[in-house]
Structure 1
Amino acid sequence: MSKIRITKQFSFETGHALYGYDGKCKNVHGHSYKLSVTVIGTPITDTNNVKYGMVIDFTDLKKIVKSEIVDKFDHATVFNKNTPHIELARELESRDHNVILVEYQPTSENMVIDFADKIKRQLPSQIKLFSLKLQETDTSFAEWYASDNF
């Protein structure tokens, strides 16, 4: 049976700041992120299975990505927890803002690595994460491929 890749796209709004950066992105700002999630697997061949012919039900993939990424990061502000932005983060949290503190500089590159790890842990064993594309603006994005990370 052939291996098939399927892709589902998501969007969410997230703010961040890059501590120590030498450009405008050192300031707190936000993006309308677009995340494309591609998985690979073999379509189900059991004609008695309600998901016959599917690699994974798009609804099941959506549940994973929404719970691991979209629901957490949408309308949140992400800061590296090891920077002076921690004071700003605490102030925002005290005012009931959604703040995410991470172990890394919250660049698109590092976020896509984090997202890949989160999604891979939740996929059924017969489904593999093939790639992620995290688009920060219309012209800028970071990509993660399983084939580059084995």
Structure 2
Amino acid sequence: MKNIRITKEFTFETGHALYGYDGKCRNVHGHSYQLAVTIIGTPIETPGEVKLGMVMDFGDLKKIVKEEIVDPFDHATIFNKNTPHVALANTLAAEGHKVILADYQPTSENMVLDFASKIQTRLPDNIRLHSLKLRETGTAFAEWYASDNPE
């Protein structure tokens, strides 16, 4: 088998606040996130196939990640919907701001888990999500690997 990994990178701006946290990140703030999405599969070998030699068209991967992650999260503020931040979120939304109420504390670790779930459901059956790397700052990131998360 000739499995190949391909990676596409994305950037988006998102604000968040960590309710109950004992540091500065309890305050609403934002990051310029960088997301690297790596998939694994076998390149298409069917003669005459327009995507001959590709594991997956980078444009097709871009469409999935853009629809599931970049468009919803870019220039949004994410809050844990199970905290008192809901009041702030509702106020911001009423003022026309883009708000996401998540089922989790919006750390990079939880965001990368959420992103993996969203992306996996959209991939073709012959393609597997290999890994995600979500860079929050120039020196801090969270990674998700399929091999660390057997089903």
Interval of TM-score (by shorter of Structure 1 and Structure 2): over 0.9
Task: Quote the sequence identity (%).
Answer: 71
Residue 133 (structure 2) aligns with:
133
**Structure 1 runs (4+) greater than 4 angstroms displaced:** none
Counterparts of 1:68 and 1:29 in 2: how far apart (Å)? 22
- Aligned residue identity for 2:41: G
- Aligned residue identity for 1:80: N
Residue 15 (structure 2) aligns with:
15
SS at match of 1:122: coil
Q: Deviations over 1:6-46 (max 9, x none)?
A: 00000000000000000000000000000000000000001
Residue 27 (structure 2) aligns with:
27
Counterparts of 2:135 and 2:148 in 1: how far apart (Å)? 19
Residue 108 (structure 1) aligns with:
108
Q: Which runs of 5+ in 1 are unaligned?
A: none
- Aligned residue identity for 1:107: T
Q: Deviations over 1:86-130 (max 9, x none)?
A: 110000000010000001000000000000000000000000000
Does 2:80 correspond to 1:67?
A: no
- Aligned residue identity for 2:43: P
Counterparts of 1:49 and 1:17 in 2: how far apart (Å)? 47
Residue 78 (structure 2) aligns with:
78
Counterparts of 2:62 and 2:86 in 1: how far apart (Å)? 32
SS at match of 1:14: strand
- Aligned residue identity for 1:131: S
Q: Deviations over 1:36-60 (max 9, x none)?
A: 0000000000121100000000000
- Aligned residue identity for 1:4: I
Counterparts of 2:72 and 2:50 in 1: how far apart (Å)? 30
Q: Which runs of 5+ in 2 are unaligned?
A: none
Counterparts of 1:21 and 1:47 in 2: how far apart (Å)? 56
